[in-house]
Structure 1
Amino acid sequence: MQDKIGQKLGTSRWFDVTQGLINQFSASTLDEDPMHLDPDWTRANTPFDGSIAAGFWTTSMLITMSHDIGFIEAFGEQTGRHFYALNYGFNRHRLITPVPVGKRIRSHMSLRDFADKGAGKYLLTIDVEVEIEGEDKPALIAEWLAMVVVQE
């Protein structure tokens, strides 16, 4: 992975932002904010033309997008050993543009750093940008951390 530092890991496929997904996320986080759940309320009370995804929903999609790109899986295949990956947090995380329900999003990921932490642990620092189809500004930019643990 050292030779991939600074290189693009990949771009995920497009994911539909549906009201159903946003409702499920809101239910699971006990968030009843009408901005995410009620398009009529949102049109009447905000500058948005309908409901918007919670920023944490957009953030949570990074896991699915990273699996779609497959770079963690490729790392495991290169070692030939069993492994697992843990979300290790963020050095930087910004929600730039609200994501309207009805749009599509995808991510672009690049490897910023790869550090051997010993005992079969590797810390990946991944630059992420989540694009909103048809928008000039991204939904999210982040420096995301993943700890990959290779089992002996």
Structure 2
Amino acid sequence: MLIINNFEEYKAHLGKELGVSNWHTIDQEQINKFADATLDHQWIHTDAERAKQEGPFHATIAHGYLTLALIPYLWKQIADVRNIKMEINYGIESFKFGQPVLVDSEVQLKAKLNEIVNLRGVTKVVIEATLNIKGQQKPAYTGNVVFLYHFI
């Protein structure tokens, strides 16, 4: 795991891959809980039998936004940013979904530091996030995540 203690240490990684998370399995229970939380119960996500019979993937698939919602969890496995008063999920930019994540697939986040700026004491970073699916060449998505850090 990468440990970052301050702006200078973060900046030293500009343009470099920061690392990858552990593999995480997205199972039907997680998909169903996300459906409940977001009120998105479309059958392609929640009805395994119908998805198997009628769906284009012959299995349920994770919501695209579920896979995005995993970014903070998976990011914490890549980098431990220390000496901060506050961390803010500031934005997401230019995300493209490459392919669906089928139920019981394992996914892994890869992160690269694309930009870092000191905004009068607040550090803004743009992380290129790629969600890989085990056994697949094409990622589930690629895009930029923006975090703000208020270092002590």
TM-score by length of 1: 0.89
* Cα gap change, 1:82 to 1:5, in 2 (>3 Å): closer
1:56 to 65, 70, 76: 65
Higher helix share: 1
Contact 1:130/1:140 (8 A) holds in 2: yes
1:141 to partner: Cα distance:
0.4
* Cα gap change, 1:82 to 1:125, in 2 (>3 Å): closer
Amino acid at match of 1:146: F
- Could you tell me which residue of structure 1 aligns to residue 7 of structure 2? none
1:107 and 2:106 are equivalent in the alignment: no
1:43 to partner: Cα distance:
2.1
Q: Give the Cα–Cα distance (whole angstroms) in 1 for the partners of residues 72 and 85 of structure 2.
A: 16
1:82 to partner: Cα distance:
3.5
1:17 to partner: Cα distance:
0.9
- Aligned-residue Cα RMSD (Å) equals 1.2
Q: Which runs of 5+ in 2 are unaligned?
A: 1-9
Q: Deviations over 1:66-109 (max 9, x none)?
A: 01112xx33x2xxxx33221111122111111000011000110
SS of 1:65's partner is: helix
Same amino acid, percent of matched pairs: 24
Q: Give the Cα–Cα distance (whole angstroms) in 2 for the partners of residues 138 and 146 of structure 1.
A: 22
Alignment of 1:1-150 (within 5 A): 1-70=10-79, 73-74=80-81, 76=82, 81-118=83-120, 120-150=121-151
How many residue pairs get aligned? The number is 143
TM-score by length of 2: 0.89
Contact 1:96/1:138 (8 A) holds in 2: yes
Contact 1:53/1:100 (8 A) holds in 2: yes
